């Protein structure tokens, strides 16, 4: 299953979530709390070294 890492106040995260929903693609939304700095934690930076949202993860493919 595709995982979408994002934040509800991110316009780009919303666009990706809307696109997936319109296409009927099942996905899991993983909220990243930007205010608490979760995007700067080593676990998140291992997925995206730039520390930005949104991120789509499908098995080994990361966009």
Provide the pLDDT for residue 19.
Answer: 97
Q: How far apart are CA 43 and CA 49, in angstroms?
A: 10
What is the model's pLDDT at position 4?
98
Q: What is the pLDDT of residue 25?
A: 97
Contact 4, 30 (CB under 8 A): yes
Rounded-to-integer distance, Cα 52 and Cα 43, Å: 13
Q: Rounded to whole angstroms, how far apart are CA atoms 3 and 9? A: 18
Residue 15: the pLDDT is 98
The whole-number pLDDT of residue 54 equals 98
Q: How far apart are the first and last CA of the chain?
A: 14
CATH of 2-62, one of 3.40.1410.10, 3.40.30.10, 3.40.640.10, 3.30.565.10: 3.40.30.10
Residue 16 has what pLDDT?
98
Q: pLDDT tens digits, residue range 1-55?
A: 999 999 999 999 999 999 999 999 999 999 999 999 999 999 999 999 999 999 9
Q: What does the domain layout of the chain look like in residue ranges?
A: 2-62
């Amino acid at each position: 299953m595709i995982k979408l890492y994002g934040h509800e106040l991110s316009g780009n995260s919303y666009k990706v979530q809307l696109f997936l929903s319109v296409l009927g693609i099942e996905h899991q939304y993983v909220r990243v709390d930007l205010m608490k700095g979760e995007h700067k934690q080593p676990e998140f930076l291992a997925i995206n070294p730039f520390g930005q949202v949104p991120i789509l993860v499908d098995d080994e493919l990361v966009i």
